[in-house]
Amino acid sequence: MHKIESLSARTIADSRGNATIEVTLGTANGKGVASVPSGASVGAHEARVVEPAMAVAQINTEVSMALSGKEFDQKSLDEFLIKLDGTPDRRRLGGNAILGISLAFARAAAAEQKVELYKYFGNLAGNTTFALPMPMFNVLNGGKHAKGGIAIQECMLVPVGVDVVGAQVQAARDCVAALKVLLEKNGYGTEMGDEGGYAPALTGNDEALDLLVSAISAAGYAGEIKLAIDVAASSMPAFDKETMSKWYADIVKKYPLISIEDPFTEDDWESFAVLRASALDVLVVGDDLTATNAGRITLAAQKNAINAVIIKPNQVGTVSETIDAVAAVRAQGWKAIASHRSGETLDTWIADVAVGLGCGYIKAGAPTKPERTAKYNRLMEIEPALS
């Protein structure tokens, strides 16, 4: 148990220049600071976000008064916050406010226990051995992450044949450099989207995948780097599932694709299940479908809809609920993919979540912007302790 002695919050700017919140929590022998990212492609089943200035005001008054002087462990704190909010979707205090407090408490508790944050998360989840996740680098941005870009939201590089984090990041950088040359050669712009990948106005999604295959080859990583995509179907203004289903079947045969995220809209369980039951040798990933919610993950298992799940703590609101979600994923033998958001901060806790909870993959964007590279640098910092 840890006694909360102080709690405060302030607004800061995220990577898009929008306001978000930073929370500072003090215990008797620890201090935790955590900032909260925000998404552009937000699903209907996510915890609601309260306007940052309002969230800060509520933390600094009502919530601070309610918590100060009381003793908690992580589970009892998170349960207290959920009860204090009193709504099913966190709309009163805000999922952003609750997560900021939950994460700041985790950091303070880890400091008191004199353990790394990933080990603190692991201890809560019952994990005793740790491994590094495989990065999924979003190097071509589209959808809501890039105005005028391709229809699908993310085209990612997955360096499955490269072992060390530093080498994985370098491989991605080499491919990004090769991709820039190809884009310029073909007369495309090299402006960047929200997650640090290029956001050219290509002729279509196939051209994006063609360019990535060419960039991988030009950089000397053919066979070592695979592809993954996030369709973000629920965020598409016009989505034809029949056309897209045929396209998925085609691209799995044509490209070294290992993962398709949100291939259908967030409540279309049937289409997910049909794709999952097909002979396609690919991860079918739920994000908006599952919303880091253990109940929805269990429902996805009952419907045999997917075999991998995106883990975004701010979709659900607390550390404890995130742990429950990952436990539900692992109970099915599925892959958990820890993920950043499009509006990020320099905070690196998602790397600790990925390692501590045993996520097989991590999405943190292209290795081109400081709020993205910070996560990869944190993995490099953790790596020596795991060898």
Domain end: 81, 114, 147, which one?
114
Listing DSSP states for 343-357 in one string gives: B--S--HHHHHHHHT
Residue 107 to residues 26, 33, 126, 355: CA-CA distances in angstroms? Answer: 10, 7, 18, 15
Angle at 281 between CA 279 and CA 287, to 5 degrees: 105
φ/ψ of 138, rounded to 5, equals -85, 95
Indicate the range of 148-152, 313-317, 353-357, 358-362 predicted with least confidence: 148-152
Is residue 129 included in any domain, yes or no? no
Residues 143 and 287 both lie in one domain: yes
Question: Is 333 within the bounds of a domain?
Answer: yes
Provide the pLDDT for residue 148: 65
In tens, the pLDDT along 95-104 reads 999 999 999 9
| 95-113 vs 319-331: helix crossing angle, rounded to 10 | 90
Report the candidate in 343, 323, 238, 237 with the shortest Cα–Cα distance to residue 16.
343
List % helix, strand, coil for the chain (3-state, nearest 5): 45, 20, 35
Residue 221 CB partners (closer than 8 Å, separation 6+): 159, 161, 162, 171, 174, 175
In this predicted structure, the answer to whether residue 145 has a pLDDT above a threshold of 60 is no
Note the pLDDT of residue 309. 98
Same domain, 88 and 217: no
| CB-CB contact of 304 with 273 (8 Å) | yes
pLDDT band at 151 (very low <50, low <70, confident <90, very high): confident
Each residue's pLDDT tens digit, 153-167: 999 999 999 999 999
Q: How confident is the model at residue 73 (pLDDT cuts 50, 70, 90)?
A: very high
User: Residue 88 is part of a domain; what is its CATH number?
Assistant: 3.30.390.10
Please indicate, yes or no, if residue 269 is contained in any of the structural domains: yes
Q: Of 32-46, 47-61, 175-189, 280-294, which range is least confident?
A: 32-46
DSSP string, 18-53: -EEEEEEEEESS-EEEEE--B-SS--TTSPP---HH
> Rounded mean pLDDT of 361-368?
96
Percent of the chain with pLDDT over 70: 97
Structural domain boundaries enclosing 243: 134-386
pLDDT digits (tens, 9 = 90+) for 245-301: 999 999 999 999 999 999 999 899 999 999 999 967 899 999 999 999 999 999 999
Rounded distance between C-alpha atoms, residue 40 and residue 140, angstroms: 16
Does residue 119 lie within any of the structural domains? Answer: no
Q: CA-CA distance, 137 to 221, in Å (whole number)?
A: 14
> Are 181 and 285 in a shared domain?
yes
Nearest CA to 326 out of 347, 303, 355, 305 is that of: 355
The radius of gyration of the chain from alpha carbons, rounded to an integer in Å, stands at 20
pLDDT single digits (tens) 125-138: 999 999 999 999 99
CA distance 209 to 258: 13
DSSP 8-state code for residue 337: E
Residues 196 and 268 in one domain: yes
pLDDT of residue 282: 94
Domain termination residue (choose one: 58, 79, 114): 114
Same domain, residue pair 73 and 158: no
For residue 300, tell me if it sits in a domain: yes
User: How many whole angstroms separate alpha carbon 154 and alpha carbon 212?
Assistant: 12
**Domain assignment of residue 203, yes or no:** yes
Do 289 and 252 lie in one domain? The reply is: yes
- 311 and 165 share a domain? yes
Contact 314, 101 (CB under 8 A): no
Q: Report the alpha-carbon distance of residue 354 to residue 361 in Å, rounded.
A: 7
Residue-level length of the chain: 387
Q: How far is CA 33 from the centre of its chain?
A: 20
- What pLDDT sits at residue 38? 82
d(CA 198, CA 156): 11
Please report how the helices 95-113 and 74-85 are oriented relative to each other, as an axis angle in degrees rounded to 10.
Answer: 160
Q: How many CA atoms lie within 13 A of 50 on its CB side?
A: 24
Pair (167, 29) in one structural domain: no
Whether 98 is in a domain gets the answer yes
Count of domains forming the chain: 2
Active site residues: 195, 312
Flag whether 122 is in a domain: no
Asked whether residue 42 carries a pLDDT value surpassing 70, the answer given is: no
* Same structural domain, 90 and 217: no
Are residue 151 and residue 241 in the same domain, yes or no? yes
Q: Are 144 and 153 in contact (CB under 8 A)?
A: yes
Structural contact between residues 277 and 305, judged by C-beta atoms closer than 8 angstroms: no
Answer yes or no: do 104 and 178 share one domain: no
| pLDDT higher than 90, residue 387 | no
| Average pLDDT of the residues of the chain | 94
Which pLDDT tens digit goes with each residue over 231-247?
Answer: 999 888 888 999 999 99
Q: Which two tokens stand for residue 128?
A: 């005793």
**Over residues 97-123, mean pLDDT:** 97
Select from 80, 114, 148 the last residue of a domain: 114
Give dist(CA 147, CA 98) in Å, integer.
Answer: 31
Q: What is the CATH number for 375?
A: 3.20.20.120
DSSP assignment letter at 235: G
Query: Above 70 in pLDDT, residue 31?
Result: yes
Interval 43-72 mean pLDDT: 93
Tokens in use for 225? 């780097």
Same domain, 55 and 108: yes
- Is residue 147 predicted with pLDDT exceeding 70? no
Q: Does residue 43 have a pLDDT over 90?
A: no
